[in-house]
Amino acid sequence: MTRGSHGVAAGLFALVWLSCVWFGSWPFNPNNATRLFGALALVEQHDAKIDRFESLTIDKAQFGDHHYMDKAPGTTLMAAPLVWAANHVTHTDSRDQVIDITSPKLDHFLSLRLLLAVAFGTALLTAFAAVLLFDLGTGITGSVTAGLVAALGYALGSVVWGWSTTLFGHAPVAGLLTIATWAVWRGTSGPKELGRWRYPVMAGAALGWALVVEFTAIFGGVAIGLWALWRTRHLDAPTRRRIYGVTAGVALLMLVPLGAYNQFAFGTPFKLGYEGVVGFNGMQQGLFGLTYPKPLVLVKLLFSPRRGLIWVAPVLLLGAVGLYRMIRTVTTRDLGVLAAAITTIVLLVNSSYVYWDGGASTGPRHSVVAIPFLAIGLAPFWAGLRHRWARIATAALLGLSILVNLAIATTDIFDSDTMSFPLWEHNAVMFVTGNLTNFPSQWLGWAPWRGFALYLVLVGPLLTMMVLSARRADRIVAPVA
């Protein structure tokens, strides 16, 4: 990192992590629930069957007489040690619970384990990825403020924030692919970095684990891999073999838990939970529901009030302009092409999915992985602004995006799939009426608005300090090539 940026990075990590942990999500959402049930089965029963809980979730797979989690196992495997710790410390497990969705005791039991899994899983990944995106944005522009704008647009100015309060795989994969992109960029930025092992190790670990979390991560992962080949094309053969060997070896090592889980659950490493999905006949179309891109769906993913990305992250429009500028600039062209390619790939895959709208979802949840790559463009967009009014307008749009997602995170990321404009009909109504969820209100018995006010008291000075530090650093740091 550049001189003067370390304090901003530390503040950014704390801000993003706290923001993801402070606002929770509903543990009985089928996606959250099936992953929690899978973790409970591993910890308490030492198998993968969720038969005892299957009536509480519509997201499940069935093989023979038994039910299983129907997702990729990554988030469940990350949650399992935390579920074990919670059981051990509280001396309770699910066998002490009445398996009834209306049970407050079961809700509390699952909510605690969900909180721990998010705090030490998804929230950590999102916060770490935000710091690396900050470093990347600072590096390609020479402006610490530009890097901060990109990082805030990604982590708090989009629905990455809300989805980072859940056990869904979208936010973790977005974070992991961001980490892999930073590792390739930083690891190929000079002769000194090429000799360091940590960058290919990080890239391989992030790419491998992303596939364990969500199988669709392979599309973005392949794009990053091809980009890495391009970035290293001028190196001598021994150096390339070392980098490729380390990266591929670590990635394959990270896939071992996937094969081990499948062997443990289904008796073979080559069987997936998606093969036994119950109740979603659309999964039989194409490849587990993936067919071909639909232009109308693509338009809806971007612009429709029901699921459009523009409504839940308006600042990303400027990110798209920034990517265009990156592609037109020789020094950032390859990174801009990668970011644009991954954004396009993710949107096309989402528009190919039979359940493209994501059911109970705020924004296009299956397109969340595209968000950090659009956010990269915010850094050059900001750095290219020459007039004070333009920066004020950009900061205002970023602030609006953060406020929108603050309202989403503190109310409900699981908007109804029957509303035409859920952001207005659901989240805004919940927020105005004080139907909020936050750590103090859920765990300390505080009034919701009081817990919300404490959050603002904590993050307000932190955010102010970061902005002032970034501006100060820009005055003393020479531009970075």
β-strand partners of 331: none
Instruction: Give the pLDDT band (50/70/90) at residue 153.
Output: very high
Segment 284-313, tens digit of pLDDT: 888 888 999 999 999 999 999 999 999 999
Segment 235-244, tens digit of pLDDT: 999 999 999 9
Instruction: Assess contact for 404 and 420: CB atoms under 8 A.
Output: no
Instruction: Give the pLDDT band (50/70/90) at residue 128.
Output: very high
449 pLDDT above the threshold of 70:
yes
Euclidean distance between the first and the last CA atom of the chain, given in angstroms as a whole number: 13
Give the Cα separation of 87 and 91 in Å (integer).
5
DSSP state of 287: B
In 3D space, the residue among 163, 112, 156, 119 whose CA is nearest the CA of residue 21 turns out to be 119
DSSP state of 279: S
Instruction: Tell me which of 77-91, 178-192, 394-408 is least confident.
Output: 178-192
Residue 460 tokens read as 């307000």
283 pLDDT above the threshold of 80:
no
Q: How many CB atoms lie within 10 A of CB 300?
A: 18
Mean pLDDT, rounded, for 400-406? 98
Give the Cα separation of 255 and 203 in Å (integer).
14
Residue 392 makes CB contacts below 8 A (sequence gap 6+) with none
Q: Look up the pTM and report it.
A: 0.95
Mean pLDDT, rounded, for 76-105? 94
Residue 354 tokens read as 């039979």
159 pLDDT above the threshold of 50:
yes
Give the Cα separation of 53 and 100 in Å (integer).
9
Instruction: Give the pLDDT band (50/70/90) at residue 3.
Output: low
Segment 26-51, tens digit of pLDDT: 999 999 999 999 999 999 999 999 99
How confident is the model at residue 388, as a pLDDT? 94
Instruction: Give the pLDDT band (50/70/90) at residue 346.
Output: very high
The residue type at 279: G
β-strand partners of 68: 49, 61
208 pLDDT above the threshold of 90:
yes
Instruction: Assess contact for 413 and 362: CB atoms under 8 A.
Output: yes
How confident is the model at residue 273, as a pLDDT? 87
What is the share, in percent, of the chain residues with pLDDT greater than 90? 89
Instruction: Give the pLDDT band (50/70/90) at residue 481.
Output: very low
How confident is the model at residue 274, as a pLDDT? 86
Kindly write down the DSSP assignment for every residue of 147-201, as one continuous string: HHHHHHHHHTSSTHHHHTTSS-SHHHHHHHHHHHHHHHHHHTSSHHHHT-SHHHH
Mean pLDDT, rounded, for 373-387? 97
Q: How many CA atoms lie within 13 A of 24 on its CB side?
A: 25
Residue 443 makes CB contacts below 8 A (sequence gap 6+) with none
62: enclosing H helix or E strand: strand 61-63
478 pLDDT above the threshold of 70:
no
